């Protein structure tokens, strides 16, 4: 009986050691760079970005390269060409899967045309994080990380109203025109809908007059986010609608388009000190324009914070942990609601620019030079 008891004790001890070993591995235990439910700490991470036409995409690529390598990963950062085709980005994502990427972060060139590549990624066990732009019509997107883009639109709408009150030199009604982004970018509708959440009641009650009559997103869209497309449309509107009346404001979804719209308004001989134009992205040229009293506002979406949050999500996945999210309801991509982590945007005008860019030395330097 004593021998049986000793044997049982030995078996129990061995089982306990086995369980302890499993538990240690599951917690990311000791010495092995690969966690039981994660992947090797020096794995390749793919970063597929749409183009280099925006300062923020270029900055994001640089931050991902430095941040991922500092975290111990291998960074594979690639940009699609500036043309409007998505084939190159599709090829880049496929290559990242083939080359063993464990996570691919995608700033989509066209979020509706990546289904085949994301199925390939899912079949290979690759996690997909949609960065800044939601990827649509596929179940194979695991997370979305972005600034709260509906809030961005609301802030733009609020800024337009504030600027009209401040700059126009007269009370309501005010003549305004509306611009939205590229129809192949899921964010475009979110920005526009957020802005219209604020502006539509003012259109309905006569405070705002869209003199061109172009209020639907299909009418206001700017293909490819191309500045020349926005300027051409603004030229046409000014010629057809504003010969004898003044334009008081323009809803522009980003800074690149804002500068094109401003060029058009200036060439038409309008006084920009009396016209309110919104923007987004805090591009250096637009910050200068704001400080000169030309563009009225932009949105600060700190790319550094967005990249940092994305890398944190990748690190959680590497450890076999679920990344933190703070929204599980808003972002339905047509097939699933994508768990999202949303950061808060900040409206910037001349009055609060120094405060808004206190932690962005290059922009703060611009502000302080005026």
| φ and ψ at residue 12, rounded to 5 degrees | -60, -40
Beta strand pairing status for 174-178 and 208-210? Answer: parallel
Residue 211 has pLDDT above 80, yes or no: yes
Residue 180 · residue 193 · CB < 8 Å? no
Residue 53 has pLDDT above 90, yes or no: no
Q: Give the model's pLDDT for residue 84.
A: 64
Residue 265 has pLDDT above 90, yes or no: yes
Residue 107 has pLDDT above 90, yes or no: yes
pTM of the model: 0.80
State the chain's mean pLDDT as an integer.
90
CATH topology of domain 44-141+302-343: Rossmann fold (3.40.50)
Residue 45 · residue 39 · CB < 8 Å? no
Lowest mean pLDDT among 76-90, 95-109, 165-179: 76-90
Q: Where are the alpha helices (DSSP H) in 49-99?
A: 55-70, 87-98
Domain ranges of the chain: 44-141+302-343, 149-301+348-368
131: nearest Cα among 187, 75, 170: 187
Please give the CATH architecture assigned to the domain spanning 149-301+348-368: 3-Layer(aba) Sandwich (3.40)
- Higher pLDDT among residues 230 and 14, named by residue: 230
CA separation for the pair 32, 368 (Å, rounded): 50
Q: Give the model's pLDDT for residue 37.
A: 62
Common-topology check for domains 44-141+302-343 and 149-301+348-368: yes
In this predicted model, what pLDDT tens digit does every residue of 4-47 receive, in sequence order?
A: 343 444 434 443 433 334 333 333 333 334 444 699 999 999 99
In this predicted model, what pLDDT tens digit does every residue of 178-202 receive, in sequence order?
A: 999 999 888 999 999 999 999 999 9
């Amino acid at each position: 009986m004593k021998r049986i008891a000793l044997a049982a004790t030995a078996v129990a001890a061995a089982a306990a050691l086995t369980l302890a070993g499993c538990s240690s591995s599951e917690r990311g235990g000791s010495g092995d760079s690969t966690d039981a439910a994660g992947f090797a700490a020096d794995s390749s991470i793919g970063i597929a970005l749409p183009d280099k036409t925006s300062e923020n995409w270029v900055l994001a690529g640089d931050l991902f390269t430095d941040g991922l390598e500092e975290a111990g990963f291998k960074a594979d950062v690639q940009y699609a060409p500036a043309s409007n085709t998505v084939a190159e980005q599709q090829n880049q994502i496929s290559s990242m899967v083939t080359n063993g990427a464990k996570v691919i972060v995608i700033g989509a060139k066209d979020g509706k045309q990546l289904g085949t590549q994301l199925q390939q990624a899912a079949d290979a066990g690759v996690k997909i994080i949609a960065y800044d732009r939601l990827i649509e019509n596929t179940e194979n997107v695991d997370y979305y990380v972005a600034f709260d883009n509906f809030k961005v639109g609301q802030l733009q709408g609020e800024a337009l109203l504030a600027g009209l009150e401040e700059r126009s030199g007269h009370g309501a009604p005010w003549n305004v025109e509306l611009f939205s982004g590229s129809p192949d970018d899921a964010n475009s509708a979110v920005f526009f809908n957020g802005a219209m959440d604020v502006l539509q009641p003012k259109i309905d009650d006569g405070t705002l007059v869209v003199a061109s009559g172009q209020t639907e997103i299909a009418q206001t869209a700017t293909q490819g986010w191309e500045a020349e497309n926005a300027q051409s449309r603004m030229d046409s509107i000014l010629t057809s609608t504003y010969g004898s009346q003044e334009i008081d404001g323009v809803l522009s979804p980003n800074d690149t388009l804002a500068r094109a719209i401003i060029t058009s308004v200036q060439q038409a001989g309008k006084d920009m000190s009396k016209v309110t134009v919104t923007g987004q992205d805090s591009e250096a040229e637009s910050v200068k324009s704001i400080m000169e009293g030309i563009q009225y506002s932009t949105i600060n979406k700190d790319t550094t914070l967005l990249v940092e949050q994305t890398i944190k999500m990748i690190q959680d996945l590497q450890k076999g942990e679920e990344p933190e999210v703070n929204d599980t309801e808003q972002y339905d991509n047509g097939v699933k609601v994508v768990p999202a982590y949303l950061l808060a945007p900040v409206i910037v005008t001349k009055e609060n620019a120094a405060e808004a860019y206190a932690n962005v030395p290059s922009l703060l330097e611009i502000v302080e030079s005026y």
